[in-house]
Amino acid sequence: MKIAVECKSPLLQKSLEMFLVKYLSSRKLCDILIRDTQCLNEERCFYISGTEDADLKKTIFKV
């Protein structure tokens, strides 16, 4: 499986790249595109956000 990561958050971008290093690919050749901004008309997109419509909902813990 080939994965591309495009995140506006530098921390999320780097974390995903480090975790998925074996599977990284260019956007053109990828099977899945991981983003932290909403994907419009992109079937292979996986959306990470704090909103309800996200594929993976992230939560913020306050101490």
Tell me, yes or no, whether 62 lies in a domain: no
Q: What is the CB-side half-sphere exposure of residue 14 using CA atoms within 13 A?
A: 3
Residues 6+ apart with CB under 8 A from 48: 7, 12, 34, 35, 36, 54, 55, 56, 58
pLDDT at position 63 is 75
* Cα-Cα-Cα-Cα dihedral sign, residues 19, 24, 26, 32: negative
pLDDT over 90 (residue 57): yes
Higher confidence at residue 53 or residue 23?
Answer: 23
Query: Is residue 63 in a domain?
Result: no
> Rounded to an integer, what distance in angstroms lies between the CA atom of residue 9 and that of residue 2?
21
| DSSP tally for the chain: helices H, then strands E | 1, 4
Write down the pLDDT at residue 39. Answer: 85
Global pTM value: 0.86
Q: Mean pLDDT throughout 40-48?
A: 89
Domain around 32: 3-57
Average pLDDT over residues 5-32: 95
Domains held by the chain: number: 1
